Chain A
Amino acid sequence: MEVAGNVGMGFSPPVYPDARHPTTPMSSTLTSVWSPAYRFLEWFGDLGFFASQVLRSAVRRPFEGRELLRQLDDIGSRSFPLVALAGAAIGAVLALETRSSLVQFGAKSMLPAAIVFSIIHETGPVMTGLIVCGRVGAGIGAELGSMKVSEQIDAIEASGVNPYKFLAFTRILACILMLPLLTLAADFSGVMVGWIANTLVEPISFQKFIHQGLAGTSFNDFLAPTFRTAVFGLIIGMIGCFQGMRTQGGTAGVGRSATSSVVLSSLFVILADVILVKLILVFFS
């Protein structure tokens, strides 16, 4: 705190830099805590309002099927190679890393189960969510941000088309629909490459690998983790569209929107993962 005057040495009271807004250690601390908290609450309020607008627009005609198909292609098909590649890398690494640990404990036969269980339950869904945060979240934030600063979103609205539906709802729905499918792709390539990596060290048939891998698991073990990624899709789509459509400040603002879309959606995907894992354990175990 900056206080002018010789406090405690004379009779004159301390003179604050701005007499109308005196700063004390307490008020300074409160301000430093309250200001970010206020901004956070304001952001949440705005997000809630945005979500309600999107939801309201979703039940109105027209249903923008053509734009939805375009987004399904853009978000789904074009993310597929990256997600499959990352899944394959995770499968290979898991096979190589886990093998040495299991061999040490004499549990080598558990290797297929360790790989399959790990990929399907946690690694596949979370990795897919984070990859889509990076590729799609940034893309949506930058694209809508750029449209916002160049008045294209205003132009859509001025032509009598609801931008919440045409731009936001289609992207959010495409994310919700494509995330589980992309997760399946990541799981499949991870298990396949895990088997290949395992076979290179110690040959095992794919049928036996899968049989051992799925031993003791039920359909719910597979279903709930995969479909929780639909929630990740909702988070990625919603935050990307929200950050993009509230962009301000020209090209620098577009950059900020792209970055914040990735950072915030990654953060919320990780938080949602923790909560959903707990819920899945409660309801599906």
Chain B
Amino acid sequence: MMPADQPVLLGVLESGATATENSAEETHATAIAISGLHKSFGSQVVLNGTNLNVASGETLAVLGRSGTGKSVLLKLIIGLQKPDSGSIRIHGQEITRLDLDAMNELRKQMGFLFQHAALYDSLTVEQNIAFPLKRHTQMTESQQRARVQELLASVGMERDLQKMPSDLSGGMQKRVGLARALALEPAILLLDEPTAGLDPITSGEIDQLILKLQKEYDMASIVVTHDLLGAKTIADRIALLHDGNVLIEGSFAELEESRDEFVSEFLKRDS
């Protein structure tokens, strides 16, 4: 829930609260609805009643200091970790109480780009991207090959089909990871620090690529990032996590107008 001493956030979080009321119309418009999410590791409280909503086709960038639970938030959404309490709804379906089979079905609608790409290092680029296709589709070998080619072309890597992940640079690994995340044409894309560890030029290329793919696939996306410029480029809205809660949420311009000390400091330090 919103801290009482953050009046600047009122308008933003009110919209979050209404989205969780789950009227049929809102359920269809809201791809991801998170309310009252709590997660702790031992005595360390990471998320303390977080509320967030992402509409279909919308991109939300989640910013915050290191260790504020940004990556944990993504892992909770895709079910890699379980929340202590709270609700996560994907297209209206509550996922915190789903069994493994139901969760796996739902995961087919979600793509996840890990911070370090997490490519399977014993498989080639082609095999990495074909991995979800082999498991979740009835495609023939030739259809899979064509789909892999198409995905690699969309991330500008069509010539690197037979390379191993260890032969790729950090930026190339992110591109392949992105292609793998898009293999099943997900309705939701979760990106964990897509430009972390990359030089500014490559970061810009990855941002442009994400923008292009978002237009192409019309997905709801959550991008966790430290890169303020990247967030400004690719996100429709930005949420700033602080002390386990969303401190402020809105457009980049709205964040810049905020008089909150932490928000100003964060934007100043990161710009």
Contact = CB atoms under 8 A, between A and B. Distances in A.
A162 B114 CA distance: 18
Residue in B75, B79, B118, B120 with the greatest tally of chain A CB atoms within 10 Å:
B118
Interface in B178-221: 180
Interface in B69-114: 75, 78-80, 100-101, 104-105, 107-108, 110, 112, 114
B104 A151 contact: no
Given A152-B120, A155-B118, A160 B107 contact: yes
A110 interface: no
A201 interface: no
A157 B80 contact: yes
Contact of A158 (B78, B101, B119): B78
Contacts of A154: 75, 80, 114, 118
A159 to B, nearest CB: 5
A98 B148 CA distance: 63
A152 B105 contact: no
A178 B84 CA distance: 42
Contacts of B120: 147, 152, 155-156
Interface stretch (B9-17, B41-49, B131-139): B131-139
Q: Interface residues of A toward B: which range?
A: 10 to 19
B117 to A, nearest CB: 9
A163 B100 CA distance: 11
Interface in A144-181: 146-147, 150-152, 154-162
B120 to A, nearest CB: 6
A147 B105 CA distance: 23
Contacts of B79: 157
A122 to B, nearest CB: 37
B82 to A, nearest CB: 13
Nearest to A56: B100
B115 interface: yes
B118 A162 contact: no
Nearest to B128: A155
Contacts of B110: 158
A161 B120 CA distance: 13
Nearest to B105: A160
B25 interface: no
A151 B118 contact: yes
Contacts of B119: 152, 155
Contact of A160 (B75, B108, B116): B108
Contacts of A146: 121
A147 B80 CA distance: 15
A158 B136 contact: no
A62 interface: yes
Nearest to B120: A152
Contacts of B75: 154
A179 B85 CA distance: 46
Contacts of A20: none
Contacts of A162: 100, 104
Interface string B155-170: 0000000000000000
A60 interface: yes
Contacts of B104: 160-162
A151 B114 contact: yes
Contact of B135 (A150, A155, A158, A161): A161
13 contacts: A147-B120, A150-B121, A151-B116, A151-B118, A154-B75, A155-B114, A155-B120, A156-B120, A157-B107, A158-B78, A158-B110, A160-B107, A161-B135
